[in-house]
């Protein structure tokens, strides 16, 4: 049984596991996925890529940002049977650029990033797992397969 | 006007020549006067022994020759110095002339008006430089582009007197004042949204942007003896990272900013913005350089407050006091704490308590007595409800800290190289060093020149919900007193807020027009047994409702980390690397079992029956739910039902 105590203006309730077993009857307001105020996920409601998504870390804003954006956009909008097959040049540019900044884009990351990006459609897991030197979100973010219509999910650490 | 100019030109060399002769004489006399005494003793010494006449003559000859040689050398040096001094003065005085000039097409611009520049080693530019009149006619009114701090398209060869201002761009589309967390988040946001954006960060610190939380947490728990140099720490997932957001290769040098094809972020360190001209859209640095901008962010953060009694106590006491905020403060405190016997932290809030716990853990290692004193009844007294604050204080004590609560400092004196802190209730505390963690004074130096409003309740620049102060000026981070649509006007001094607000400001600077909506969170760890995350307004003066479960050994930050091996911390935004501080450290002291064990739970802070703040006490990964409840802003009849949403009994 739960036990309750009042200390001045502060109320303290101790609850056992059983007390909390019944589902909550607290009402929450339903989310609006198109709310312009909300933090957006990787894909915006209009289908564009949200380059400012925390999940991308610093990829779109670093020295190789423009190459990354080109490559990823090409891939995202690609309608080929093998998605992104026409984007090889863009990805090569990106890779070349990244090789010039080994501190920011460590080498072993690249192989993962290029292969992952080519094999997945624009879900979060396609993105190169962030290393700490790129100061991105922690790696758990990149492994969250995000439901991009639910903006709050992107903020969750798994 | 032309006449004046030509007259001036004619007179100038004359004036200069005569003044230089005067100056020369003065200097020479001054110097030789200084030199003579140095030689006299030598002369005396050399006439000591009663040598023969010839020997004497030899001595006199030698001394004379030395004297002459010295004099010639001195003369040459002085002349050379004076020459350089001259050039420098001319350069500086010629800048006001250049200001009136339009940005000319002429490549070599860094030359001062030629008339006086005959001494310069570089190719002096002929008259046109000195006669701004032909180019002056219509200085473009609105954008007073300043020519002085040049953008060297052709750097003058071999000039050793290159003013530092030559390296600074005269115009930048995006100017961020302050080089901290908010600024970096904004830079990243701008770069993500505006392709090829050119962003200039101006900071008076010598360091590139870095994150502050590890300075009072993780860095102290590092096993690496060189941590004060590397500034690297281990995160929850065992991976190491630096406190710097990005290594230096991420940024481009300021002088390359204007010509960078794809733009970039440049950081100008060691320069302070002292004046802001909002009408002219430009700022002035402490070295008189001017930079004009299209959009500007003020993210100047703040300075640690000090106690008045310490400031009045004199230099001896000030030398033994640390105000903790920056990397250099961390380095010096680390050093000091290894060499003393007793340290006292004044302040019982986040910073004070974290530092006390960090130093407390060292107390055994180094034989250091750690004292923490504050006016409240318990640690975090202004944040946590009383019962929890008391509980926390007990935990802090087990970390090896001597806690003196309800302590008001009356005076501090330095006696026999030790500090004596006299409290108002009569107690006397003797210690070797003080750390003052009594709050932050937001930095609003630019308010006057820029004509920006400063908030009288919370301090900081007053901005709207979109973080805008005036057209083209935004403010983010610790210095921003903003309107929160849900919670009202406030000013927040936490890391995640700096990231969220910086990011939002960056978005709005690139045209987004979004208000502050995504609520930021914060966290604190006080030793291995107490960790919490919080969101919203968490003020202990508000009525609270706490719902707790009985904790098992599994429910500490340490245990949570070890078990899951994954992030226990909720994601605060982009730059977060929140961690359990103990993941890699020695086993915790045995937990003291209290009758009422506040092991884990949720605490709701209410204002007019609406939840405005939530603390997740030893309960992790539930921040999104907390954020949702605050966002809804609903009146809930039974908060126990709301607490069920958090599933506190689960991991």
Q: What is the pLDDT of residues B313-334, one digit of tens each?
A: 999 999 999 999 999 999 999 9
What is the pTM for the complete model shown?
0.71
d(CA A9, CA A17): 26
Would you call B386 and A8 a contact, using CB atoms and an 8 Å cutoff? yes
Q: Over 50: is that where the pLDDT of A129 sits? A: no
Query: Residue B454: beta bridge partners?
Result: B461
Q: What is the pLDDT of residue A106?
A: 76
Binned at pLDDT 50, 70 and 90, residue B209 comes out as very high
Residues 6+ apart with CB under 8 A from B137: none
Query: Under a CB-based contact definition with an 8 Å cutoff, are residues B475 and B509 in contact?
Result: no
Residues 6+ apart with CB under 8 A from A61: A51, B187, B188, B189, B190, B191, B192, B265
d(CA B199, CA B190): 8
Residue among A128, A123, A130 nearest A144 (CA): A123
Query: Under a CB-based contact definition with an 8 Å cutoff, are residues B429 and B371 in contact?
Result: yes
Query: Under a CB-based contact definition with an 8 Å cutoff, are residues B391 and B598 in contact?
Result: yes
Would you call B644 and A133 a contact, using CB atoms and an 8 Å cutoff? no
The 10 Å Cβ neighbour count of residue B599 is 21
Share of chain A above pLDDT 70, in %: 66
Closest alpha carbon within chain B to A23: B644
d(CA B573, CA B434): 34
B643 touches chain A (CB under 8 A): yes
Residues 6+ apart with CB under 8 A from B337: B343, B359, B362, B366, B368, B433
B543 contacts in A (CB within 8 Å)?
A: 9-11
Binned at pLDDT 50, 70 and 90, residue B523 comes out as very high
Residues 6+ apart with CB under 8 A from B211: B181, B243, B245, B495, B575, B577
B386 touches chain A (CB under 8 A): yes
Binned at pLDDT 50, 70 and 90, residue A126 comes out as very low
**Token pair for residue B524?**
């604190």
Residue with token string 């790129």: A134
Phi, psi of B208 (to 5 degrees): -70, 165
A129 touches chain B (CB under 8 A): no
- For B426-433, which contacts have Cβ atoms below 8 Å and span 24 or more sequence positions? B429/B344, B429/B371, B429/B373, B429/B404, B430/B342, B431/B342, B431/B343, B431/B344, B431/B369, B431/B371, B432/B320, B432/B340, B432/B341, B432/B342, B432/B343, B433/B320, B433/B321, B433/B322, B433/B336, B433/B337, B433/B340, B433/B342, B433/B343, B433/B344
d(CA B460, CA B470): 14
Angle between helices B327-339 and B350-366 (to 10 degrees): 40
What are the angstrom distances between the C-alpha of B472 and each of A41, B185, B297, B299, B509? Answer: 27, 18, 8, 14, 8
DSSP B182: H
The shortest C-alpha distance from B484 to chain A (Å) reads: 13
B517 contacts in A (CB within 8 Å)?
A: 37-39
What is the distance of C-alpha B198 from the center of its chain? 22
Share of chain B above pLDDT 90, in %: 59
Residue among B134, B131, B122 nearest B166 (CA): B122
The shortest C-alpha distance from A52 to chain B (Å) reads: 5
Binned at pLDDT 50, 70 and 90, residue A107 comes out as low
Would you call A26 and B638 a contact, using CB atoms and an 8 Å cutoff? yes
Would you call A61 and B621 a contact, using CB atoms and an 8 Å cutoff? no
Query: Under a CB-based contact definition with an 8 Å cutoff, are residues B206 and B291 in contact?
Result: no
Residues 6+ apart with CB under 8 A from B617: B388, B532, B546, B548, B598, B600, B601, B602, B603
Cross-chain CB nearest to A135 (options B264, B575, B621): B575
Phi, psi of B467 (to 5 degrees): 65, 20
Sort B56 into a burial class: Cβ within 10 Å, 0-12 / 13-18 / 19+: middle
Would you call A29 and B634 a contact, using CB atoms and an 8 Å cutoff? yes
A140 contacts in B (CB within 8 Å)?
A: 237, 566-567, 571
What is the distance of C-alpha A96 from the center of its chain? 25
A14 touches chain B (CB under 8 A): yes
Q: What is the pLDDT of residue B77?
A: 78
The shortest C-alpha distance from B241 to chain A (Å) reads: 6
Query: Under a CB-based contact definition with an 8 Å cutoff, are residues B86 and B20 in contact?
Result: yes
Binned at pLDDT 50, 70 and 90, residue B452 comes out as very high
**Token pair for residue B266?**
């440049």
A34 contacts in B (CB within 8 Å)?
A: none
B452 CB-side CA count, 13 A = 33
What is the distance of C-alpha B152 from the center of its chain? 29
Q: Which segment of B102-116, B474-488, B521-535 scores lowest on mean pLDDT?
A: B102-116
The shortest C-alpha distance from B143 to chain A (Å) reads: 29
d(CA B35, CA B68): 12
3-state secondary structure of B446: coil
Binned at pLDDT 50, 70 and 90, residue B101 comes out as very low
d(CA A115, CA B461): 47
Binned at pLDDT 50, 70 and 90, residue B563 comes out as low
DSSP B574: T
B465 contacts in A (CB within 8 Å)?
A: none
A132 touches chain B (CB under 8 A): yes
A63 touches chain B (CB under 8 A): yes
Looking at chain B, the number of H-run helices and the number of E-run strands are: 15, 28
Q: Mean pLDDT over residues B389-402, rounded?
A: 92
Q: What is the pLDDT of residue A140?
A: 33
Q: Which segment of A76-90, B10-24, B354-368, B397-411 scores lowest on mean pLDDT?
A: B10-24
Q: Over 70: is that where the pLDDT of A152 sits? A: no
What are the angstrom distances between the C-alpha of B205 and each of B165, B196, B267, B493? Answer: 17, 26, 11, 19
A152 touches chain B (CB under 8 A): yes
Residues 6+ apart with CB under 8 A from A131: A106, A109
Interface test with A, best of B176, B508, B569, B571 (most A CBs within 10 A): B571
Would you call A58 and B188 a contact, using CB atoms and an 8 Å cutoff? yes
Q: Over 50: is that where the pLDDT of B129 sits? A: no
Q: What is the pLDDT of residue B453?
A: 96
Cross-chain CB nearest to B577 (options A13, A138, A155): A138
What number of residues does chain A have? 158
Would you call B550 and A153 a contact, using CB atoms and an 8 Å cutoff? no
Would you call B571 and A141 a contact, using CB atoms and an 8 Å cutoff? yes
Q: Over 90: is that where the pLDDT of B427 sits? A: yes
Q: Over 50: is that where the pLDDT of B341 sits? A: yes
The torsion region of residue B323 among left (phi > 0), alpha (psi -120 to 50) and beta comes to beta
* Residue range B570-622, pLDDT digits in tens: 545 444 333 334 333 344 343 433 456 888 899 999 999 999 999 999 998 99
* Residue range B130-153, pLDDT digits in tens: 333 433 334 333 333 433 333 334
Cross-chain CB nearest to B624 (options A12, A16, A156): A156
Q: Mean pLDDT over residues A137-155, rounded?
A: 33
Cβ-Cβ pairs closer than 8 A, A with B, add up to: 191
d(CA B211, CA B466): 24
Q: What is the pLDDT of residue B34?
A: 44
Q: What is the pLDDT of residue A38?
A: 84
Residue among B203, B208, B198, B136 nearest B169 (CA): B198
d(CA A87, CA A117): 11
Q: Which segment of A7-11, A142-146, B16-20, B66-70 scores lowest on mean pLDDT?
A: A142-146
Would you call B386 and A140 a contact, using CB atoms and an 8 Å cutoff? no
**Token pair for residue B637?**
């009849």
A61 contacts in B (CB within 8 Å)?
A: 187-192, 265
A135 contacts in B (CB within 8 Å)?
A: 241, 245-246, 574-575
The shortest C-alpha distance from A146 to chain B (Å) reads: 14
B547 contacts in A (CB within 8 Å)?
A: 13-15
Phi, psi of B621 (to 5 degrees): 65, 20
Closest alpha carbon within chain A to B544: A10
The beta strands (E) that lie in B320-452 are given as 321-323, 342-346, 369-373, 401-404, 409-415, 418-423, 428-431, 433-436, 440-442
d(CA B553, CA B591): 9
Looking at this predicted complex, what is its ipTM? 0.72
What is the distance of C-alpha B75 from the center of its chain? 45
Binned at pLDDT 50, 70 and 90, residue B378 comes out as very high
**Token pair for residue B174?**
């995006």
The alpha-helical segments, DSSP class H, found in A1-154 are 65-77, 88-99, 107-119, 139-143
B186 touches chain A (CB under 8 A): no
**Token pair for residue B182?**
């908010």
DSSP B611: E
Q: What is the pLDDT of residue B114?
A: 40
Q: Over 60: is that where the pLDDT of A154 sits? A: no
A56 contacts in B (CB within 8 Å)?
A: 192
Torsion angle in degrees (nearest 10) through CA of A38, A44, A49, A50: -10
Q: Over 50: is that where the pLDDT of A155 sits? A: no
B280 touches chain A (CB under 8 A): no
**Token pair for residue A116?**
């992952």
């Amino acid at each position: 049984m739960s036990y309750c105590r009042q200390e001045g203006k502060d109320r303290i309730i101790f609850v056992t596991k059983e007390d909390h077993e019944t589902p909550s009857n607290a009402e929450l307001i339903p989310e609006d996925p198109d709310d312009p105020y909300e933090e957006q996920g990787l894909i915006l409601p209009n289908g564009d890529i949200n380059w400012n998504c925390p999940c991308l870390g610093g990829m779109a804003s670093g020295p190789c940002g423009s190459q990354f954006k080109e490559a990823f956009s090409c891939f995202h909008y690609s309608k080929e049977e093998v998605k992104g097959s026409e984007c090889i040049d863009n990805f090569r540019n990106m890779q070349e650029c990244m090789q010039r900044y080994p501190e920011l884009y460590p080498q072993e990351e690249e192989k993962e990033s290029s292969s992952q990006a080519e094999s997945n459609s624009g879900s979060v897991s396609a993105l190169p797992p962030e290393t700490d030197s790129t100061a991105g979100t922690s790696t758990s973010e990149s492994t969250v397969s995000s439901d991009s219509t639910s903006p709050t999910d992107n903020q969750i650490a798994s | 006007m032309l006449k004046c100019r030509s007259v001036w030109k004619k007179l100038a060399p004359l004036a200069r020549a005569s003044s230089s002769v005067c100056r020369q004489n003065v200097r020479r006399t001054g110097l030789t006067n200084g030199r003579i005494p140095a030689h006299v003793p030598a002369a005396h010494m050399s006439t000591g022994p009663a040598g023969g006449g010839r020997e004497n003559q030899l001595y006199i000859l030698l001394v004379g020759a030395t004297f002459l040689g010295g004099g010639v050398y001195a003369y040459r040096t002085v002349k050379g110095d004076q020459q350089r001094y001259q050039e420098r003065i001319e350069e500086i005085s010629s800048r006001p002339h250049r200001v009136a000039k339009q940005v000319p097409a002429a490549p070599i611009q860094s030359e001062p008006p030629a008339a006086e520049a005959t001494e310069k080693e570089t190719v002096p530019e002929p008259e046109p430089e000195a006669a701004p009149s032909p180019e002056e006619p219509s200085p473009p009114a609105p954008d007073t582009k300043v020519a002085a701090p040049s953008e060297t398209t052709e750097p003058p060869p071999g000039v050793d007197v290159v003013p530092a201002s030559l390296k600074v761009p005269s115009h930048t589309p995006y100017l961020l004042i302050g080089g901290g967390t908010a600024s970096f988040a904004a830079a990243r946001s701008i770069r993500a949204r505006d392709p090829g954006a050119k962003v200039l960060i101006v900071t008076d610190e010598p360091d590139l942007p870095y994150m502050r939380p590890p300075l009072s947490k993780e860095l102290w728990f590092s096993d690496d003896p060189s941590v004060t140099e590397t500034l690297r720490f281990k995160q929850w997932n065992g991976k190491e990272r630096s406190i710097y957001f990005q290594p230096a290769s991420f940024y481009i040098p300021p002088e390359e900013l204007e010509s960078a094809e794809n733009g970039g972020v440049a950081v100008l360190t060691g320069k302070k913005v002292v004046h802001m001209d909002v009408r002219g859209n430009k700022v002035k640095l402490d070295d008189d350089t001017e930079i004009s901008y299209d959009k500007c962010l003020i993210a100047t953060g703040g300075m640690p407050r000090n106690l008045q009694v310490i400031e009045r106590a004199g230099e001896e006491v000030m030398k033994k006091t640390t105000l903790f905020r920056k990397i250099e403060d961390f380095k010096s405190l680390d050093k000091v704490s290894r060499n003393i016997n007793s340290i006292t932290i004044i302040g019982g809030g986040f910073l004070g308590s974290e530092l006390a716990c960090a130093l407390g853990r060292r107390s055994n290692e180094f034989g250091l007595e750690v004292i923490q004193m504050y006016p409240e009844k318990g640690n975090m007294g202004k944040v946590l409800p009383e019962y929890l604050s008391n509980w926390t204080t007990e935990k802090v004590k087990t970390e090896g800290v001597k806690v003196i609560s309800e302590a008001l400092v009356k005076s501090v004196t330095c006696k026999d190289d030790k500090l004596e802190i006299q409290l108002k209730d009569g107690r006397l505390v003797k210690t070797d060093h003080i750390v003052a963690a009594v709050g932050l004074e937001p930095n609003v130096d630019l308010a006057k020149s820029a004509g920006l409003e400063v908030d009288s309740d919370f301090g900081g620049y007053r901005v709207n919900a979109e973080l805008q102060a005036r057209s083209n000026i935004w403010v983010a981070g610790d210095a921003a007193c903003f309107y929160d649509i849900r919670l009202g006007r406030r000013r927040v001094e936490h890391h995640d807020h700096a990231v969220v607000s910086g990011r939002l400001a960056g978005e709005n600077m690139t045209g987004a027009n979004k208000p502050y909506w995504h609520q930021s969170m914060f966290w604190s760890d006080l030793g291995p047994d107490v960790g919490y995350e919080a969101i919203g307004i968490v003020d202990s003066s508000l009525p609270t409702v706490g719902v707790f479960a009985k904790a098992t050994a599994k429910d500490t930050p340490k245990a949570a980390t070890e078990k899951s091996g994954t992030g226990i911390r909720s994601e605060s935004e982009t730059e977060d690397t929140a961690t359990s501080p103990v993941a890699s450290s020695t086993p915790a002291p045995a937990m003291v079992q209290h009758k009422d064990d506040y092991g884990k739970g949720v605490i709701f802070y209410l204002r007019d029956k609406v939840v405005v703040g939530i603390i997740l006490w030893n309960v992790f990964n539930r921040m999104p739910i907390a954020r949702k409840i605050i966002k809804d802003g609903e009146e809930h009849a039974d908060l126990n039902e709301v607490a069920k949403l958090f599933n506190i009994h689960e991991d």
